[in-house]
């Protein structure tokens, strides 16, 4: 019998735990030609900002071993065009929409949260904290626990009470648990772990940085171990916290790994660049993985790798053994 794939995003129930990660599924139209957006657990939009934004000049992308380096620079249509054009289209296709928001000031974030709260059909808000803070010389909000918490508190305050707010954290910090703790204390209903890492590539022919923006966000399988580590650490500290696990998921086994580390749902990101139907494929493969290890409910695998590590005390050790018969 196929496993029960229902998953929870805070208090919201999703039909399955495989989401399209922010910035990798566009506004949904782009991938809808190849995959049914209603079949995806939820679609996290590209980060929406208050105003239209051109982003950075080209070249914006560089391929690195098992990774992609991008400095798109938050190009987007702005909240007005998103609410008029993109959100209604997604809802008409039956998609569940998590809106990623980005801002340059705390006020911008709060204003976006308020706008989204006036709109029907927003499943959750994801707060992209890896945006340059205009009030702090462009330093990312995500790099400091108090700054990150300030944004989260403003968004939680601006958003309707029944819309879950997830804070997306950067792995480029010394102590991700400290940032996670500050965001939870500020009212985050859950966390998205993790955003891309800051990286850089140099073109050895031109002897110049490969990207016009000099630095880029490194994503793809190259960063998956970092994502697994971050999810694991935060799960250790906050065993009941809903987590969207994101970072280099390309297969069902990759998704299972993040779930085992403590994610309640997963986001498929850069894999969509490589394979426009990646979300549907990862979901199918995850179902196969679960069947192979004899799990009835996907919700049961969350955090299972922690058993015997002092958390999840109630879980019987050895419940999940790949390749061994299920306990009777």
Partner 1 sequence: MAPVQVRGTVLTVRRVDAYHALTLVAPAIATRFRPGQFVTIAVGGPQTSMLGRRAFAVHDVRPDHGGTVEFVFEAGGPGTQWLAGLRARDPLDVVGPLGRPFPVPRDVTSCLLLGVGYASAPLFSLAARLRDRGCPVDFLLGAASADRMFGALTARRTGRSATFATSDGSFGVRGAVTGMLEQVITQARTEVIYACAPVPVLREVVLFASRYEVPVQASVDVPMACGTGVCMGCVLPVTGTDGITRIVRACVDGPVFRGDLVRWDDMGTIPFDAVGAPGWKRASTESRHAG
- For partner 1, the closer CB: 274 or 309: 274
- Check binding of 61 to partner 1 (CB under 8 A): yes
Binding mask 22-41 for partner 1 (x = CB under 8 A): --xxx--xxx-xx-------
- Check binding of 68 to partner 1 (CB under 8 A): yes
User: Do 165 and 189 touch, CB atoms closer than 8 A?
Assistant: yes
- The residue with tokens 């009212």 is 187
DSSP codes of every residue in 143-172: GSHHHHHHHHHHHHHHS-TTS-EEEEEPS-
- Note the helical H segments in 176-277: 176-185, 224-237, 252-261, 271-274
Give the separation between CA 193 and CA 170, rounded to whole angstroms.
7
Q: Where are the beta strands (DSSP E) in 30-138?
A: 42-44, 61-64, 67-70, 97-101, 122-128, 132-133
Give the separation between CA 267 and CA 277, rounded to whole angstroms.
14
Q: Which of 131, 183, 230, 250 is catalytic?
A: 131
Give the separation between CA 175 and CA 183, rounded to whole angstroms.
13
- We find the least distance from the C-beta atom of residue 28 to partner 1, in angstroms, to be 10
Local structure of residue 138 (DSSP, 8 states): T
- Check binding of 66 to partner 1 (CB under 8 A): yes
- We find the least distance from the C-beta atom of residue 112 to partner 1, in angstroms, to be 15
Cross-strand bridge partners of residue 267? 19, 246
- We find the least distance from the C-beta atom of residue 282 to partner 1, in angstroms, to be 14
- We find the least distance from the C-beta atom of residue 303 to partner 1, in angstroms, to be 28
Instruction: By CB under 8 A, name the one of 177, 178, 200, 273 that touches partner 1.
Output: 273
Give the separation between CA 82 and CA 73, rounded to whole angstroms.
17
Binding mask 87-106 for partner 1 (x = CB under 8 A): --------------------
- Check binding of 272 to partner 1 (CB under 8 A): yes
- Check binding of 115 to partner 1 (CB under 8 A): no
Indicate if 279 belongs to the active site.
Answer: no
- Check binding of 55 to partner 1 (CB under 8 A): yes
| Angle of helix 278-293 versus helix 252-261 axis, rounded to 10 | 70
Of 58-66, 107-115, 117-125, 254-262, the window that binds partner 1 (rule: CB under 8 A) is 58-66
Dihedral sign computed on CA atoms, order 228, 233, 236, 239: negative
- For partner 1, the closer CB: 199 or 303: 199
Residues 211-250 that bind partner 1 (CB under 8 A): 212, 220-221
Q: Using CB under 8 A as the criterion, which residues of the chain lie in contact with partner 1 when the complex forms?
A: 24-26, 29-31, 33-34, 51-61, 63, 65-68, 70, 72, 75-78, 212, 220-221, 270-277
Residues classed as catalytic: 131
């Amino acid at each position: 019998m196929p496993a029960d794939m229902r998953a929870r995003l805070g208090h919201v129930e999703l039909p399955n735990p495989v989401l399209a990660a922010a910035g990798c599924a566009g506004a949904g139209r782009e991938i809808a030609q190849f995959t049914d957006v209603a079949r995806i657990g939820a679609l996290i939009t590209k980060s929406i900002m208050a105003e239209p934004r051109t982003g950075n000049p080209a070249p914006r992308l560089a391929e690195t071993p098992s990774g992609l380096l991008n400095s798109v620079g938050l190009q987007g249509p702005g909240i007005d065009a998103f609410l008029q054009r993109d959100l209604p289209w997604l809802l008409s296709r039956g998609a569940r929409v998590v809106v990623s928001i980005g801002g340059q000031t705390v006020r911008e974030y709060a204003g976006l949260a308020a706008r989204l709260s006036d709109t029907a059909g927003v499943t959750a808000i994801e707060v992209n904290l890896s945006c340059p803070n205009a009030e702090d010389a462009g330093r990312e909000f995500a790099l400091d626990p108090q700054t990150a918490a300030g944004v989260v508190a403003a968004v939680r305050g601006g958003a309707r009470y029944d819309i879950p707010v997830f804070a997306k954290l950067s792995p480029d910090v010394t102590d991700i648990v400290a940032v996670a703790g500050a965001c939870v204390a500020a009212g985050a209903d859950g966390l998205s772990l993790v955003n891309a890492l800051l990286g850089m590539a140099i073109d050895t022919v031109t002897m110049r940085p490969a990207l016009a923006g000099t630095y880029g966000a490194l994503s793809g399988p190259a960063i998956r171990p970092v994502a697994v580590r971050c999810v694991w650490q935060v799960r250790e500290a906050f065993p009941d916290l809903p987590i969207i696990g994101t970072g280099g998921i390309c297969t069902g086994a990759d998704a299972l790994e993040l779930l085992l580390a403590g994610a309640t749902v997963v986001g498929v990101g850069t894999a969509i660049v490589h394979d426009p139907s990646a979300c549907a494929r990862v979901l199918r493969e995850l179902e196969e993985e679960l069947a192979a290890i004899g799990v009835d409910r996907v919700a049961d695998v969350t955090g299972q790798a922690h058993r015997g590590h002092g958390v999840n005390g109630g879980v019987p050790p050895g419940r999940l053994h790949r390749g061994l018969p299920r306990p009777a």
